[in-house]
Amino acid sequence: MSRVLYAIACGSPAAARIGRLVGLAQAEGWEVCVIATPDGAKFLDLPALTAMTGHPVRIQYKNPQDPDVLPAPDAMIVAPATVNTINKWAAGICDTLALGLIVEGIGLGLPIVAMPFTNRAHAAHPAFGENLARLSSWGVTVLWDTTGHRPHEPRAGEGLIDTFPWEQALAALPELATVR
């Protein structure tokens, strides 16, 4: 039986390379579904990701009468996670499908890895650090300011998208997520 990973992409230039995460996860036996925030979707090649995963990329909540088109997740990776998403997520705000799923994921006890991608000025806001700590205390594996993954200078993120460490996010999934 396959394991299902939800790859949640937020509004960051690094989201353009989420196909790398999809490929890495598929090589490890995951069935991957990509969900994006509305701003995250601006960076994605939706037809290519749909072809790669065999699932539509979901951006919006479905209509109540419509069937679910994605299998239920066994784990989630939120990467690149923006300051906006981290702060809304920690506040329990569900104003996008991506946020609704990750808020629910905590309640369901799913293994979740969050890997922010932001500049040092945004990261310096006190709410960001407090919310990373809050998410971590709720069981989310937060990868921030790790080797090879640090806050960057303002307006320099575009030049770093090819070095975003997707493999770290996948490697951080707890053992619980690796056996079904």
Buried b (16+ CB within 10 A) or exposed e, 123-154: beeeebeebbebbeeeebbbbbeeeebebbee
Mean pLDDT of 152-173: 78
Q: How far is CA 29 from CA 26, 46, 89, 174, in A?
A: 5, 22, 28, 15
pLDDT, tens only, 138-152: 999 999 877 667 776
Around 101, how many Cα atoms within 13 Å sit in the side-chain half-sphere? 31
Query: Using CA atoms, how far apart are residues 29 and 12, in angstroms rounded to an integer?
Result: 27
- Residue 179: band (very low, low, confident or very high) from pLDDT cuts 50, 70, 90: very low
Residues 6 or more apart whose CB falls under 8 angstroms from that of 133 comprise none
Q: How high does pLDDT run on average in the chain?
A: 90
Q: pLDDT digits over 53-82, tens only?
A: 999 999 999 999 999 999 999 999 999 999
Q: What average pLDDT does this structure show over 36-41?
A: 96
Look at the chain and count its residues. 180
